[in-house]
């Protein structure tokens, strides 16, 4: 499929797809006219890249863990696996922090609702 088709199917801009390719995260074949052509599985690959970006991974970090996607269990991906575990651990810590912040906000909202209810009852 051509770059415009991949952009439409993946919901990612053509500019982003070109960036992914420049970073080595996505590859395409070139036609005689120089047009990019992507295999069907590129749609899933772009979705995966988007999830990793959303999780806070940088292009460099994603590039370092891709061998685990491309050759899981391969000994040549041992460094990539170690990096993958590190990124997972950072994400777990981040989620734990977000969970604590959410609990704190929920507590603050409950306290404010309670006090607002008490104030409304005394004004009536």
CA distance 29 to 24: 13
CB 64 within 8 A of CB 82: no
Domain boundaries, the chain: 1-54, 58-124
Threshold 0.85, pTM exceeds: no
pLDDT tens for the chain, 124 residues: list them: 999 999 999 999 999 999 999 999 999 999 888 889 999 999 999 999 999 999 889 999 999 888 887 777 777 678 888 888 999 999 999 999 999 999 999 999 999 999 888 776 666 5
CA distance 19 to 9: 17
Residue range 1-54 forms a domain whose CATH class is mainly alpha
> What are the helix (H) ranges across the chain?
3-10, 14-22, 42-54, 59-70, 78-123
């Amino acid at each position: 499929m051509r770059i415009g088709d991949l952009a439409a199917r993946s919901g990612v801009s053509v500019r982003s797809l070109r960036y992914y390719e420049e970073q080595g995260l996505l590859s395409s074949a070139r036609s005689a006219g120089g047009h990019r052509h992507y295999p069907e599985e590129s749609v899933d690959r772009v979705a995966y890249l988007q999830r990793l970006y959303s999780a806070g991974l940088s292009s460099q970090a994603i590039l370092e863990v891709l061998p685990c996607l491309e050759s899981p269990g391969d000994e040549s991906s041992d460094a990539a696996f170690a990096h993958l575990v590190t990124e997972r651990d950072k994400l777990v810590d981040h989620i734990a922090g977000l969970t604590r912040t959410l609990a704190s906000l929920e507590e603050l909202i409950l306290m404010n609702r309670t006090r607002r209810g008490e104030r409304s009852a005394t004004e009536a």
